[in-house]
Amino acid sequence: MRGQDSAGNRYRERSGGLSFCGCGAGFGTSDLRAGARFITVEAMLLVMIENIKKSLAAYWGYKDFLPLQEEAMRCIAGGRDSVVVLPTGGGKSLCFQAPAVTMEGLAVVVSPLISLMKDQVDALGECGVPAGRIDSSLSFEEQGDVLAGIHNKKLKLVYLSPERLVTEDFLAVLRKVRLSFVAVDEAHCVSMWGHDFRPEYRQLGLLKKLFPGVTIGAYTATATEQVRSDIAEQLSLDEPEMLIGSFDRANLVYKVRPKGSIVRQVCEVLDRHKGESGIIYCIRRKDVDSMCDELASKGYSVAPYHAGMENGDRKKNQDLFINEKVDTIVATIAFGMGIDKSNVRYVVHTGMPKSLEHYQQESGRAGRDGLEAECCMFHSDGDYGTWKFLMKDMEPEAQEIALIKLSRMYSYCTGGICRHKAILRYFGQDLGKGNCEACDVCLGELGRIDDALVTAQKILSCILRLDERFGGDYTASVLTGSREKRILENGHDALSTYGLLSDHSKDAVHNWIDQLVGQDYIEKAGEYNVLKVTPKGRGVLSGRETPRLLKPTKKPAKVSKAATDSWEGVDEGLFEALRRLRKSIAEDRGVPAFVVFGDAALRDMARRRPSTPAGFLEVKGVGQTKSKQYGKIIIAAIKDYCSANSLKTDVNLPCMS
């Protein structure tokens, strides 16, 4: 397999030389022997990319590519197989949608879920791109319409499930049309190593056998090397270009706090996001129900979602959330797959997930539109214990891996290093800057305590005095001089370390113990998670190592760098007015609000405040179809608002990103 960096343009000559727009030419920078032919193909590619850029502006209203989009599109346009790994919100769909519009023939998009297909096809329709889907939720007539659209070459893209694609009926359809390429979305579903294996995806291996010349692009947000190579292998890709983006989600602000009175903590987050959409994850169903009841009784707009509910109720609540009839969905992790809602502004975890992969997935549902969003996690020792308990019956090998992942997750919570850096490091990437300006650590919401070395030494010697036979809760009690019966009965009030940290609350001491575990100075052993001092911890006792111990210093702020940038120049009142207008438009059209316009487009409207159709087209995310469709009504609303509020219209902005 080829390299993993994202340098792009590393095209090599391919063995077969796939067809490029039907002309049958190979291409590659090393292809000097091919001389003139190479230049022609390269020149044609340039033209293709120019055309793609034009359609990006015309249909989607975007002027620039997001990172690696251009490289990914070059692969498709140039007939090169590719595996494109970009984080959620990285703009993977456009990597195949934009080439599909410009290339001759029909693009086939494989997608695992009807909800995903529906959202994408609806969104394409809103942009004026002829696309259809064939799935079991459509009537016979509707399917017939789509097939007709394929036959008379009206459609540029068709979305299908993998099992439908490989049916004899559909293969027969495909044999009769000109295929531009096949895009496999959520391609990790093909791999058993992924988090979402779908056996039907395996059948896609047939494609290369049945259509040897077809170009395949595979798209996923799953980062591991194993999944990547599995995708290439299972789909029989031909020397695919591997395009791996940065996994950093710079617009997400990560915050981690020990769990206290959780309902109050959750309310604090919700109060920072009045009227905005968000998700609250709970580990267990019963926590979903109780959290939801408590929040509803306080007047928050919430709905529950978990696997124990009736299908109909679940679907109803999901729709309420997607169509912005409720602000917040309270859910187990059963919720989320197949939800492409782009303007989720916060994701709260009321417990620690069992791995950073899970955390990345779940928190990643925030801010798909690239605007700032907050990801808050509240964790406790208890969560660690719960997961460990749930893992006790696993096969030994799987259990070992699960426990390692769990302990990495735990270190993330308690380690107190930049959250962006920690997540990236876990996925084998480097942040490349010192301060992310988008996590509680870098925003200075946690401060270092002054006497970390002495405090840590007190904790570690107490663990040794307790013969490394007790857990975190007990140790914290001894250190804070608790008069609990169990301690007195054990005679531990006579230890020299008893009450050494009695100036601090037990919660604070317990949290420092967790931080020391997170930094590998202490390990939690055995079924009861008894604390043991590691060799690294011995280094602290001898003064060779100094841990970092953090304590909360100030209230979490809503703003981060990402936030200030994307609100710059935006009139928030106008944004709210446009948001209401968007909601009523969406209701009339029977599509989710974010399919009409994303939050980024609304903010740009409330920033530029265009009063003419030409000005409206300048807005990021407004293409020609949407401009025709909604220009009048939105411009009217902008003018009304601006004159009522003495606001300047047509603010001239050279190029806001």
**Per the structure block, which two tokens stand in for 238?**
């031909």
Residue 447's Cα: distance from chain center in Å? 28
* Amino acid residing at 86: L
Among ligand ADP, Mg ion, Zn ion, none, the one that 418 touches (CB under a kind-dependent 5 to 8 A) is Zn ion
CB of 153 to ligand ADP, least distance (A): 25
92 or 255: CB nearest Mg ion: 92
The Cα–Cα gap between 224 and 1 comes to 14
* Amino acid residing at 439: C
112 or 547: CB nearest Mg ion: 112
The Cα–Cα gap between 59 and 164 comes to 29
In this structure, the number of other CB atoms found within 10 A of the CB of residue 632 comes to: 12
> Which string of x and - marks every residue 86-115 that binds Mg ion (by CB under 5 A)?
------x-----------------------
Give one DSSP letter per residue of 100-165, joined into a string: HHHSSSEEEEE-S-HHHHHHHHHHHHHHT--EEEE-TTS-HHHHHHHHHHHHTT--SEEEE-HHHH
Radius of gyration in angstroms for the set of CA atoms belonging to the chain, rounded to a whole number: 27
Q: Count how many residues are written for the chain.
A: 657
Distances (CA, A) of 137 to 118, 161, 360, 412, 586: 10, 12, 31, 42, 21
The Cα–Cα gap between 351 and 333 comes to 11
Among Zn ion, Mg ion, ligand ADP, none, the one that 90 touches (CB under a kind-dependent 5 to 8 A) is ligand ADP
Our CA dihedral for 120, 122, 128, 132, rounded to 10 degrees, sits at 80
197 or 211: CB nearest Mg ion: 197
CB of 566 to Mg ion, least distance (A): 21
The Cα–Cα gap between 323 and 584 comes to 10
Q: Give the H or E element holding residue 458.
A: helix 452-465
Where do contacts with Zn ion occur on this chain (CB under 5 A)?
Answer: 418, 420, 436, 439, 442
CB of 245 to ligand ADP, least distance (A): 9
CB of 424 to Zn ion, least distance (A): 10
80 or 368: CB nearest Mg ion: 368
Phi and psi torsions of 533, nearest 5°: -85, 125
> Which string of x and - marks every residue 50-89 that binds Mg ion (by CB under 5 A)?
----------------------------------------
The Cα–Cα gap between 244 and 4 comes to 6
CB of 421 to ligand ADP, least distance (A): 22
92 or 620: CB nearest Mg ion: 92
- SS3 state at 497: coil
Among Mg ion, Zn ion, ligand ADP, none, the one that 439 touches (CB under a kind-dependent 5 to 8 A) is Zn ion
On the CB side of 155, how many CA atoms lie within 13 Å of its CA?
23
CB of 535 to ligand ADP, least distance (A): 43
Among Mg ion, Zn ion, ligand ADP, none, the one that 585 touches (CB under a kind-dependent 5 to 8 A) is none
**Per the structure block, which two tokens stand in for 136?**
């079991």
Where do contacts with ligand ADP occur on this chain (CB under 6 A)?
Answer: 62, 64-66, 69, 86, 88-94, 340, 342, 368-370, 598
The Cα–Cα gap between 357 and 88 comes to 13
Among Mg ion, Zn ion, ligand ADP, none, the one that 86 touches (CB under a kind-dependent 5 to 8 A) is ligand ADP
Among Mg ion, Zn ion, ligand ADP, none, the one that 461 touches (CB under a kind-dependent 5 to 8 A) is none
Among Zn ion, ligand ADP, Mg ion, none, the one that 442 touches (CB under a kind-dependent 5 to 8 A) is Zn ion
Nearest CA to 62 out of 33, 34, 97 is that of 97
CB of 89 to ligand ADP, least distance (A): 5
Among ligand ADP, Zn ion, Mg ion, none, the one that 66 touches (CB under a kind-dependent 5 to 8 A) is ligand ADP
CB of 293 to Mg ion, least distance (A): 34
CB of 108 to Mg ion, least distance (A): 16
Among Zn ion, ligand ADP, Mg ion, none, the one that 138 touches (CB under a kind-dependent 5 to 8 A) is none
170 or 597: CB nearest ligand ADP: 597
CB of 570 to Mg ion, least distance (A): 26
92 or 524: CB nearest Mg ion: 92
The residues that touch Mg ion, with contacts defined as CB under 5 A, are 92
